[in-house]
Structure 1
Amino acid sequence: MLRRMPHALKFYDIGLNLTDPMYQGVYNGKQYHQPDIQRVLRRAQQARVHAMLLTGSSICESQEAVALAARFHSPDARLYYTLGVHPCCVNEFVLADTSSTIDNPTNDPDFNARIDVTDLAFTKSKLRQLYTLMRGNAADPKFRAIGEIGLDYDRFYYSSQKMQLLFFEEQLKLSCLFPEMPLFLHMRNCCADFVAVLEKFVRGFADPDDRFGHQDLIREIDSGHRHLPHITEDGAVFYRFSPARKFVTHSFTGSSQDLRDVLSLSANSYVGMNGCSFKSAENIQCVKDVPLERLLLETDAPWCDIRRTHDSYKYLFADHSAHNLQKDDPWYGGLSEAYPDIPQWFNSVKRDKLDKKSEDEREQTTVKSRNEPCFMGHVATVVAHVKQLPIEEVASTVWDTTCSVYGE
């Protein structure tokens, strides 16, 4: 049974895709309701989500994340951001005049497989554009991580394995120019390759080719930092992560062995979990297996909500054996303990019905199937019940861990 300790609960959502068009009221290219970001953030405050990390998924969306954090950051809703290019968006490094965003796939794996670096100057300019964005925001305290970068072998209809591997490594090279900056990583159905790439940087390696001319950037930087990349006597570039570098494999959906492999990379390797991390019995086993002090939590909103069909749904109840999971509301089965400031859970309507509500009603109404940071308590509740721990312990430990990785 969860114990009520109202002042102990606070949440840090490390995965919020606030740049997604859904928060502008646009779904699949069609406007259904007015933008509602401010209401989304106010609901997050009600749910004690005190800090949120906005995900940069492409160069354009990274720039948008910077702007959103600047516009909406407040003492009660601290908005930070990541900068990077998601594996599903890496085509933008090789294709000119492409809108490479998470909501705009090519849907053509064969076409993606034929893509290669043919205009070296163009690709180099795009990598420099990303680097310049990072360097230009290096002094901004809201810039908290390089990411979202990694591999996604479930989505070759966005980009090929070859391009994903290439630009995962190239972005990690750029990240070494910011040796203390944490990483925000993506891994989907690719653990062996993902771990192999990261191992290279943990151990250190020399790149004799320097295909995209990173030596020029290295020469521009004060070389006094002992963990910066350096040019060797034979002209190669040597890369190695700083021993202090922390990194999080977010939205973890791998196996128990994958979990062990990822955590074994470094004592500074962590995993992030959300609703998609809880779908199956194997996922739930990973929740049991992950050490609480190596775990961060997130919504990955507007995606990755917890659904009735997921294996995790029953863990929204303090004692699911005492409830009819098809009929009973988890709010009255223990879930409300995660939300001491909310007398009853928010209403929910279809996206085309939101603007038909009054202003006061919209303040307390979410959109069906669109996740929000206010659902962080649901994520923490699942972890607490799976691990058979008080939610206050889960929330407190995860908060402290998250602040140690991404800053308070």
Structure 2
Amino acid sequence: MTEKTIENVVAKQQPSIDPTLWGKLPESEKDEKSLSHVSLTYWQDVWRRLRGNKGALFGLIIILALILFALVGPLLTNHTYDNQNLSTSNIPPRYDIYKVGEEYLYLHKNMKLYLTKSNGEIIRVLEKDKEDMIKKQLIYTVGNGTAIIDYSTKNTLVLTDENGKVFGEHKNVSNKTNLLGTDHLGRDLLTRIMYGARVSLLVAVVAALVNFLIGMMYGGIAGFFGGKVDNIMMRIVDIISIIPLTLYVILIMVVLNSGLLSIIIALGSVYWVDMARVVRGQMLSLKEEEFVYAAKTIGTKPLKIITTHLLPNAMGAIIVTLTMLIPSAIFMEAFMSFIGLGVTAPMASWGTLCNEALESIRSFSYQLFFPAIAICITMIAFNLIGDGLRDALDPKLRK
């Protein structure tokens, strides 16, 4: 059979293709499902899935807002965390004002009378003209008239004029001078919460650095070498972890006195043990992979294998563990400050604010509510981010 005959046979066997099939697809027939999606890297896909998690995105927004609140907030307020004004102590964030003539007055539970503006801004505390011990009355001169605080009835304060007319509440207003009120020493509560947020963020940064620098390397070395090295290193971890963190802080306080530095050193000393265990477990499973044997074959040093090959592949579990450990570190600092082992006065911390508010919790519960809600929101935000990262970094969920 000649070559020409073969070509004719092959040509007859090939199916004829309609040229119209190669035309441009009309816009009306385009379908997203028929178009190939853009290839994403692993971390781009992680960010895409993290953005799709509303809870994690909400937590991230809260943390960013907390950072701005702590760093920029104190610059926008007219108060400092340690400025005391006993004349304006224990003033709540909202209160009722009375209109006496052309003046507006606020009657405090501590039998103090304040001159205010109609919008709730406190001008000054009024000095009483005299006190009638028999009738149990405090008498004040307000403008051209007289205002009398009657405390003859137990647990009841009544604001009247000299003729016995009772002034009714004019309206309920927000405290424009101190938005979240003041504490028992007249210090602005909002400013102190801002400085408390700085302490919490500092603890979060320290916990993150300690876990990264110590926990990752310690667990990586123990898991990679295994055997006796692993046994010795993990027994050290067991010994450290069985001693309560509170005891570490107390022992450090004996040398350095109480304060934030003692808590930071205590966290730096023992807070990496959980991360070390997680990283060790990841190393034990990853070191049997083929790429590790390939790296050993070409003579790569163990430290480089750990830092270049193993730790990056375990980064998903490390990041999730880190985001879960940060809120527990923040809570630990608040707890230490609450029991008197944290920052010292007059420095503000969320734990110290809660401790100071216990004495007057029944009368001025807002002093405990605001720092407590700040701790709760911060911990919830970090946990939401941790849950979102756990789902986003899981390769089994990648689509």
TM-score range, shorter chain: under 0.3
Task: State the TM-score, normalized to the length of structure 1.
Answer: 0.21
Relative to its length, the structure with more helix (as a share) is 2
Relative to its length, the structure with more strand (as a share) is 1
Larger Rg: 2
Task: State the TM-score, normalized to the length of structure 2.
Answer: 0.21
